[in-house]
Amino acid sequence: MDYQWTIGDLLSYMSRNSGLLWEYFVSHLIMVGSGVGLAIILGIPLGILCSRNEKLAKVILAVAGVLQVIPSLALLVLLMLWIGLGSKTVIVGLLFYSLNPIIRNTYVGLKQVNPSYIEAGRGIGMSPLQLLIKVRFPLSLTYIMTGLRIAAVIAIGVVTIAPLVGGDGLGREIYAGINNQNPMRIYAGAIPAALLAIAADLILGYFQRKLKFEGRKSKRSAAAKKATTS
C-alpha cells in the first residue's frame, strides 16, 4: 500500500467521520479533566499534610506509589467490579493514577522552600496559614505544575483503554479498528490522543515556565521583606 495513499485515505476517513471523532475527543478530554481535577483537589491537601508530618508522609507516599505501579488495566478491572461499567470507573482510576505525582511534587515543592523566607514571613507577623498561602505555596508552584504535567500525560494515555471497562473516548475508535482489522480507525483514534498528550505537555510546560518566573519574583520579594526585618 502506498504511504501517500494511506495518509490521504486516513484524512478522508477522519473527514467523513469528524462528528463521531469529535464526540470521542470531547469525552476523552472530559474524563481526563475530571480524573486529574479530582486528583488535584485531593492530592494537593495530602501533599501539604505530608510536608507537615514526616511519619504520615511515608505512609501517604507509599500508598500513592503502590497505586501508580498497579497496571492500568488491572486497576480499571478491579474498579469495574466495585463501581461497574462506565466512565465513572475510568475517572476513579485516573484519580488513583494521578495522585502520586501530584502529592509527591507538592510535598517536595513545599519542603524545598528556603527556611529564611519562612522566617521573614514570621518576622512580619504572618500566621501559619498566611505563610502557606502567601509564601510556601507560591514558591512551590513550579514543582506542583511538574506533577500536574506528568499526571495529565499519563491520564491521556490511560483513557485510551477506557472502552475495555465500558468507557468512552478515543479508545473506542482504536479498539474498533483492532477488532475490524482496520488500520485507518486505529490511526484515527491514536493520532488525536497522541496530539492531545503533546499539547497538554506543551501548554502546561508554558505555564510552568511562567510560574517559575513569577516564583523568582516572589523570592526576591521575600528576600526584601527579610532585609527589612533584619
Q: What is the pLDDT of residue 156?
A: 94
Q: What is the pLDDT of residue 95?
A: 94
Q: What is the pLDDT of residue 216?
A: 60
Residue 202 has pLDDT above 80, yes or no: yes
Question: Which residues, at least 6 apart from 178, have a Cβ–Cβ distance to it below 8 Å?
Answer: 186
* Tally of residues, the chain: 230
Residue 13 has pLDDT above 60, yes or no: yes
Higher pLDDT, 224 or 40: 40
Please write the tens of the pLDDT for every residue from 84-132. 888 899 999 999 999 999 999 999 999 888 888 888 888 888 888 888 8
Please write the tens of the pLDDT for every residue from 166-180. 888 999 999 999 898
Q: What is the pLDDT of residue 118?
A: 81
Residue 214 has pLDDT above 80, yes or no: no
Residue 217 has pLDDT above 80, yes or no: no
Please write the tens of the pLDDT for every residue from 15-37. 898 899 999 999 999 999 999 99
Q: What mean pLDDT value characterizes the chain?
A: 86
Q: What is the pLDDT of residue 1?
A: 42
Question: How much is the average pLDDT of 186-203?
Answer: 92
Using an 8 Å Cβ cutoff, are 46 and 158 in contact? no
CA distance 143 to 94: 20
CA distance 154 to 115: 33
Q: What is the pLDDT of residue 227?
A: 52
Residue 12 has pLDDT above 80, yes or no: yes
Using an 8 Å Cβ cutoff, are 38 and 91 in contact? yes
Residue 4 has pLDDT above 70, yes or no: no
Of residues 99, 92, 110, 104, the one with CA closest to residue 42: 99
Which class would CATH give 3-192+200-229? mainly alpha
Question: How much is the average pLDDT of 46-57?
Answer: 92
Q: What is the pLDDT of residue 132?
A: 84
Please write the tens of the pLDDT for every residue from 113-123. 888 888 888 88
Task: Report domain extents, the chain.
Answer: 3-192+200-229
Residue 59 has pLDDT above 90, yes or no: yes
